[in-house]
């Protein structure tokens, strides 16, 4: 009988141990060791490895003598763009023969170009031509509007302009996104990224309009990279300044163009009324997104004297630019 009791106790102990173990792994909070708890199904989702953008981004070697900010004013978009880029070293400093260039406009909304909610298609076309003339093997134009991408590209006129100028337009599809790792980022350390147009790319140029913004007060070249994110990116609006600072970290472009040909000076970012738009007649080329945006804040949105939006300070604290554009080397040109 003693032998039976011992056997019984052993087996009961084994069953109890297994039950406790099973209960633990299934009920323990998801952060605990060996826990299998998956209340929202996230842990069950496939988790592949990620990609990273080049460590130093797509920037060219910095220059100690060339201006960081080229500002061209006038009416002829091609001439203005060339003058602005010439001011920071010329297109050949940035684009070499054989380069594959990605141009990232802001095509976030299904609005016609005069309403100022999207990049001016003439500026996008001029930029594509400039890159082509510099010997780029291929120029791609890509953005990921949340709203119907095809409709946004068509209504804004960017698609037609970009294609006519000699580029390929990449519209996002479900298979175009990959997980991107951005070490040091607060919100997007690992986040779906519009990856397909980046394959084989050697240079990246952003071209963004100057817009008022309901949440972050101003949307310009730094905020423009938001359009490369996938997933439920709207959640980041809870910390809009934090995510913009992350975007500055995520993508370090070859240079940026701040499209001040039109300025959506209120009711942004969507706009709608022509009375919210004013002629800016200005194009800025810069190797420093924060300096370009700060110039836009002061001179194009005409908010000089108002405190800059918080994302400037957050991004500057990471060493990603200089919001004090007056302290940088600036060259201003009147064209025509």
Residue placing its CB nearer to other proteins in the complex, 76 or 214 = 214
Rounded Cα distance between 243 and 219, Å, is 13
CA dihedral over 254, 255, 256, 257, signed as positive or negative: negative
Question: From the CB of 102, what's the least distance to other proteins, in Å?
Answer: 11
Question: From the CB of 176, what's the least distance to other proteins, in Å?
Answer: 7
Question: From the CB of 239, what's the least distance to other proteins, in Å?
Answer: 11
Torsion on CA atoms 171, 221, 55, 139, rounded to nearest 10 = 40
Question: From the CB of 267, what's the least distance to other proteins, in Å?
Answer: 7
Rounded Cα distance between 209 and 263, Å, is 7
Question: From the CB of 226, what's the least distance to other proteins, in Å?
Answer: 9
Contact 67, 332 (CB under 8 A): no
Residue placing its CB nearer to other proteins in the complex, 33 or 183 = 183
Rounded Cα distance between 193 and 178, Å, is 5
Sequence-distant (≥ 6) Cβ neighbours of residue 320 within 8 angstroms: 245, 248, 249, 252, 289, 290
Whole-angstrom Cα Rg for the chain: 25
Residue placing its CB nearer to other proteins in the complex, 27 or 307 = 307
Residue placing its CB nearer to other proteins in the complex, 87 or 115 = 115
Residue placing its CB nearer to other proteins in the complex, 86 or 138 = 138
Phi, psi angles (nearest 5°) of residue 238:
-70, -25
Cα atoms in the 13 Å half-sphere on the side-chain side of 232: 2
CA–chain centroid gap for 189, Å, is 14
Question: From the CB of 212, what's the least distance to other proteins, in Å?
Answer: 10
Question: From the CB of 112, what's the least distance to other proteins, in Å?
Answer: 4
Residue 79: closest CA among 248, 331, 305, 282? 282
Residue placing its CB nearer to other proteins in the complex, 87 or 244 = 244
Residue placing its CB nearer to other proteins in the complex, 23 or 200 = 200
């Amino acid at each position: 009988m003693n032998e039976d009791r011992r056997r019984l106790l052993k087996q009961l102990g084994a069953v109890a141990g297994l039950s406790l173990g099973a209960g633990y792994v299934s009920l323990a909070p998801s952060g605990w060791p060996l826990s299998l708890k998956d209340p929202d199904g996230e842990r069950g989702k496939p988790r592949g490895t990620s990609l990273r953008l080049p460590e130093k981004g797509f920037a060219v070697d910095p220059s100690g003598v060339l201006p960081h900010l080229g500002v061209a004013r006038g009416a002829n978009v091609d001439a203005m763009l060339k003058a602005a880029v010439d001011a920071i070293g010329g297109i050949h400093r940035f684009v070499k023969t054989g380069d594959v260039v990605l141009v990232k406009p802001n095509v976030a909304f299904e609005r016609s170009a005069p309403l100022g909610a999207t990049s001016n298609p003439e500026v996008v076309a001029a930029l594509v031509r400039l890159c082509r003339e510099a010997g780029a093997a291929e120029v791609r134009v890509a953005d990921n509007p949340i709203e119907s991408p095809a409709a946004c590209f068509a209504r804004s006129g960017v698609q037609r302009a970009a294609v006519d100028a000699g580029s390929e337009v990449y519209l996002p599809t479900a298979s175009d996104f990959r997980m991107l790792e951005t070490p040091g980022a607060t919100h997007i350390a690992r986040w779906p990224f519009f990856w397909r147009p980046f394959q084989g790319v050697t240079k990246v140029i952003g071209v963004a309009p100057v817009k008022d913004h309901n949440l972050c007060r101003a949307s310009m070249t730094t905020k423009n990279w938001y359009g490369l994110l996938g997933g439920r990116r709207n959640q980041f609006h809870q910390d809009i300044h934090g995510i913009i600072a992350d975007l500055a970290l995520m993508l370090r472009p070859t240079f940026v163009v701040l499209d001040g040909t039109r300025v959506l000076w209120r009711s942004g970012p969507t706009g709608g009324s022509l009375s919210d738009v004013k002629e800016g007649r200005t194009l800025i080329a810069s190797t420093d997104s924060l300096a370009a945006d700060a110039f836009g804040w002061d001179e194009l949105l005409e908010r000089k004297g108002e405190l800059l939006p918080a994302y400037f300070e957050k991004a500057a604290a990471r060493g990603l630019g200089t919001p004090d554009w007056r302290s940088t080397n600036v060259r201003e040109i009147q064209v025509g």
